[in-house]
Structure 1
Amino acid sequence: MKILYPLIAAILLFSVISCNKKAEKKGEELKETSEKVVPELKISIDSVGITAFYKRYPKVVKFQDQVLALYKKNNSTQLWLDNKGVVEFANTLFNKYKGLEQEGLKANFPYNENISSIFEHIPENKLAKADTDLMITNLYFYYVQKVSGVDEKTTKSLEWLLPRKKVNYQVFSDSIFKKSTISDDKKSKMFSQYYKLRDALQQYREIEKKGGWKTIEVGEGFKSLKKGDSVAAIGQIRERLFLTGDLKENSKSNVCDSTLISGIKNFESHHGLTPKNIILPEHIAELNIPVSDRIKTIIVNMERCRWIDPELEKGKEFIEVNIPEFKLYLIRNHEIVFVSPVVVGKAMTKTVVFSGMMNNIVFSPYWNIPPSIIKSEIKPGMAKNKNYLAQKNLEWNNGAVRQLPGKNNSLGLVKFLFPNSNNIYLHDTPAKSLFERENRAFSHGCVRVGKPRELAIELLKQDPSMTPEKIDRAMHAGKESWYTLKKKIPVYIGYFTAWVDRNGNLNFYKDVYKRDDSLIKLLTEE
């Protein structure tokens, strides 16, 4: 028995070692199996399948050409699916789509239920894998189109002729493979004003969520409120100004004091109104515009920002005119170096939204009268009065009519030319009183400058030969003379009814050409 125990122990030890070796071998076999590369998922998506997809889902057929080119580039295989399901980049895209409301846009993809089922799994996605991939691709192009703004044909129909930001679908297509564009929100990709308005949109939506602002009730026959007056409406005005930051504190007092007057002046200066020491009916009307309407105005102007090439504002020197604001700005090295009030075209002779390159300044200019004015005004005047031309300081010139240079010339003493098919330019005017008005839409289409002499001096600062004294002599010479700029200056004439200024203040302006309503309908239609 003593001999038997060591033998049994040896057998048991051998069995354990043998089992361990088998287990190790089995473990290694399992490890090898788990480390085997799973074949890459490949779903065939060719032109035949894509054409069939659009027969089933015709509401996105406008993207067919881009989609065909994209899958051809990817060897007719899927873009958004792998062995684990939908790739992370697709989820990022869907989240961006769901967040379109923050961009002032509606997330109304034509097949919203189908696309939602892919990512939310409620109800379970019933699309075939090929159709799932195609649906996500169409969502991608839908999103790109939305954030790029309405197409150029539409903007031209809306009389917007400024250089458009180009939508390069090839670049967007490439970004799908790089998986970089959707998640990258660098602000350099859009006109900078867009992001400022987007922040303002969130602020005003927060105000709306909290109930907006109440209507200020002043009663019939209201004429004005001044410092020292005490009525319930003053408390309402105070609360309204506090909501939008025009007043820093709300004392809730019903007495009109210097703090309230200061607040109303802030409000007026940010709403295209001349600041006054009294509160008038037009101020109450402006204060009572609902927050929902202000939100629409912000959304409309965010859309206009989508159309603008962000490269425009990177120029070293340019002039911009905002029609609803009735102001001209000269920007140099990204700083505002000059500001002037302007008069723009009236509703029947709108100033065109476009751009040009200023190349000449004309001192003591002739005014070559447009044929339309000759027909409607000059000829009827001549028929009634044989001395009409002389009395108006006009003369015939090669079959046309022009006004002689001088202080009474309709173009004033200087004009600034940037050749364009619209025959629009900047110029002086003898009608100086118009610049004192809040609404300054009175011209035949050209832009009248309130400070033309100062603008000429600022533009010619780089030329030491053109001193302010020499500019004055040229302006009053009574004889036309031309100065060619050594470097052309871009001029942009735009139309913005909401704008965040460089101090961070949100400004609203009257929709003088009634263009906002048609654009908001376009943006919110299903």
Structure 2
Amino acid sequence: MKKILAVLGIALLTSLTSCKKGNKDKVDASTETHDHEDKILPLDTTAFAGFFNQYPEYKTYSGQIRKLYRKHPHYIWHEKRGLIEFAEVIYNRVNQLDDEGLPAKVPYKNVLDDLFQDSGRGEKPNVNSELLISGMYFYWADKTMGGLPTDKSRETGWYLPRQHTDYVAYLDTLMQDPQKINGSSSKVFSQYNNLKKGLQKYRDIEKKGGWKTITLDEGQKSLKEGDTGAAVAALRARLAVEGYLKSDDKKREFDSELNDAVKKYEDSHYRTYKGVVTESIIKELNIPVADRIRTIAVNMERCRWVPTDIDKEKEYIAVNIPSYRLRYVRDGKIDLTSNVVVGKEANRTVIFSGKMSYIVFSPYWNVPPSIVEKEIKPGIAKNPNYLADHNMEYYNGKHIRQKPGGTNSLGLVKFMFPNTNNIYLHDTPAKGLFNKDDRAYSHGCVRVEKARELAIKITGKDGGWNEAKVDKAMNAGKENSYVLKKKIPVYLTYFTAWADENGNVAFFDDVYQRDASLASLLYTK
């Protein structure tokens, strides 16, 4: 392994695996400090136009490249003896984009491979090689931290605000302290790091052959404790591969140990295990590992779109649509989790963020015009007493609303974060829907199973309310509101894969069929 000499000292540094020609082992020069101001070489900026004509794929970054050299009008990646060591660090990171879940094709890779042959030592400075490395840097930064352009993410239904890093300023930071490149993933949502660990885990599984398909015997519809046979052995092997069992002992009997492993699997997917391995669970377990890897990569891309401020927020509410799950975070820790019901396919819950500003107790439900046309008017046509039977009334002459009470479609409380989509969180009298695995039933808003508990926690912290006061407001029989002293960020997100800090990944149904379109954007870039 080649030793790299740091500019201000000599250190043996962490090894990086390079994908360059010859598959040579490389050493991470990210701990060196670059101080070559005494070796500044002037740069001919008039040659930029010729470079972009010769390497048109970097025209995308022409504005950022020109900004970089307006700020530093000299060679950055070269000194008199050749390339600086940090250039090789960037080159190695570019060659490891696959570890970031990116199937990206590096522009002009052959040219870059030749440039970095033997670490580029002795490479005489020239404008093209200098700009190639700058283009490579911006390509790496954009892919790993920026992700797909905003217009492309919107095509997949994602309307959370995007944050963008100033890559010129970030390069200055790295040049001053190259070690910070090892924390470059801090520039994206923290879930990214967990999924990255999961990506490695599932790639290791794939290298070992993945997992085999579970096939039920003819006429068999499910498996349960006490059953025996080849399907039971296959289930045991499958769960062992993914780590839900410590090992596969090849037993063909569905014993308590296997039952516990299935429960663990179901718990990780926020489902209640009822003691039966159904055909739907087996179908899910039979999804190939290659598909799971692609799902992880797709969700790593979504992490690049999430504003990193969410990691700094001490209090927020996050709803993940595919997992039908709400998390209320307070003082930086999860204070409440709840099952939710989200919009059905025809009324998809929109992915966006807002600020909860007030809570409405004993709310009216102002029926949206679309529901009036599609459901209420046909109901009135069949039954003249439809409005009275459903505790509804006309207001302002032509609009219809449902009066407060236990049968109100919004339940006894709603949580408002004003937005153009008219989406909010609310209670519901239809509690039975929370017992279903598939909970995409609403008209777009989010029904919260633990709405009362959420109201108690929010008003208790914000205004010192107790349970009795919340219950009184919820059952007042007339609409009343509580205005928050401090607004709470609310994020409605869409993740079909979610990993813990150890890289254990839970996968969720792609309820709005969005993964395939995003994967096509990623894998054709």
Could you tell me the TM-score, scaled by structure 2's length?
0.88
2:41–2:79 contact (8 Å) kept in structure 1: no
Q: Distance in 1 between the 2:315 and 2:37 partners?
A: 58
Corresponding residue for 1:412?
411
Aligned equivalent of 1:103, options 100, 104, 109: 100
Q: Distance in 2 between the 1:413 and 1:218 partners?
A: 46
Q: Distance in 1 between the 2:121 and 2:461 partners?
A: 69
Instruction: Give, as a single letter, the amino acid of the residue that structure 1 aligns with 2:328.
Output: L
Corresponding residue for 1:340?
338
* 3-state SS, counterpart of residue 160 of structure 1: coil
Corresponding residue for 2:62?
64
Aligned equivalent of 2:151, options 150, 153, 161: 153
In the TM superposition, residue 522 of structure 1 has moved relative to its aligned partner by 1.5
* 3-state SS, counterpart of residue 344 of structure 1: strand
The answer to which of 438-447 and 516-525 deviates more is 516-525
2:316–2:490 contact (8 Å) kept in structure 1: yes
Aligned equivalent of 1:112, options 109, 112, 118: 109
Q: Distance in 2 between the 1:71 and 1:370 partners?
A: 55
Q: Distance in 2 between the 1:358 and 1:50 partners?
A: 49
Aligned residue runs from structure 1 range 134-173, under 5 A? 134-148=131-145, 149-173=147-171
1:364–1:478 contact (8 Å) kept in structure 2: yes
Q: Does 1:268 align with 2:274?
A: no
1:70–1:173 contact (8 Å) kept in structure 2: no
Count of residues paired in the alignment: 488
Q: Distance in 2 between the 1:165 and 1:92 partners?
A: 25
Please give the per-residue CA displacement for 1:291-347, whole angstroms capped at 9, x wherever unaligned. Answer: 111111111111111122222122121111111110111111121111111000011
In structure 1, list runs of 5 or more residues that go unmatched. Answer: 1-37
Corresponding residue for 2:399?
400
Instruction: Give, as a single letter, the amino acid of the residue that structure 2 aligns with 1:215.
Output: T
1:114–1:125 contact (8 Å) kept in structure 2: no
Corresponding residue for 2:524?
525
Aligned residue runs from structure 1 range 50-449, under 5 A? 50-75=48-73, 77-120=74-117, 129-148=126-145, 149-175=147-173, 177-178=175-176, 180=178, 183-185=181-183, 188-398=186-396, 399-449=398-448
Corresponding residue for 1:455?
454
2:269–2:323 contact (8 Å) kept in structure 1: no
Q: Distance in 1 between the 2:480 and 2:305 partners?
A: 38
RMSD: 2.5
Higher Cα Rg, which structure? 1
Please give the per-residue CA displacement for 1:440-489, whole angstroms capped at 9, x wherever unaligned. Answer: 00001000011111111111223676321222122122111111112111
Q: Distance in 1 between the 2:503 and 2:107 partners?
A: 37
In the TM superposition, residue 222 of structure 1 has moved relative to its aligned partner by 2.3
Q: Distance in 1 between the 2:104 and 2:415 partners?
A: 45
Q: Distance in 2 between the 1:504 and 1:335 partners?
A: 20
* 3-state SS, counterpart of residue 461 of structure 1: helix
Q: Distance in 2 between the 1:437 and 1:452 partners?
A: 18
Q: Distance in 1 between the 2:209 and 2:249 partners?
A: 20
* 3-state SS, counterpart of residue 276 of structure 2: coil
* Fraction of identical pairs, as percent: 47
In the TM superposition, residue 261 of structure 1 has moved relative to its aligned partner by 0.8
Instruction: Give, as a single letter, the amino acid of the residue that structure 2 aligns with 1:92.
Output: V
Q: Distance in 2 between the 1:82 and 1:502 partners?
A: 41
1:172–1:181 contact (8 Å) kept in structure 2: no
In the TM superposition, residue 380 of structure 1 has moved relative to its aligned partner by 2.9
Please give the per-residue CA displacement for 1:79-108, whole angstroms capped at 9, x wherever unaligned. Answer: 211121111010000011111111111341
In structure 2, list runs of 5 or more residues that go unmatched. Answer: 1-35
Corresponding residue for 1:515?
514
Please give the per-residue CA displacement for 1:147-188, whole angstroms capped at 9, x wherever unaligned. Answer: 111122222222212232322233234346536377332654
* 3-state SS, counterpart of residue 130 of structure 2: helix
Instruction: Give, as a single letter, the amino acid of the residue that structure 2 aligns with 1:376.
Output: K
CA 1:223/1:277 → structure 2, altered by over 3 Å: closer, same or farther? same
CA 1:133/1:412 → structure 2, altered by over 3 Å: closer, same or farther? same
* 3-state SS, counterpart of residue 473 of structure 1: helix
Instruction: Give, as a single letter, the amino acid of the residue that structure 1 aligns with 2:353.
Output: S
* 3-state SS, counterpart of residue 329 of structure 1: strand
In the TM superposition, residue 502 of structure 1 has moved relative to its aligned partner by 6.5
Instruction: Give, as a single letter, the amino acid of the residue that structure 2 aligns with 1:49.
Output: A
Corresponding residue for 1:475?
474
Corresponding residue for 2:21?
none
CA 1:291/1:503 → structure 2, altered by over 3 Å: closer, same or farther? closer
Please give the per-residue CA displacement for 1:112-168, whole angstroms capped at 9, x wherever unaligned. Answer: 111111112699999982111111110011001101111222222222122323222
CA 1:40/1:355 → structure 2, altered by over 3 Å: closer, same or farther? closer
* 3-state SS, counterpart of residue 330 of structure 1: strand
* 3-state SS, counterpart of residue 240 of structure 2: helix
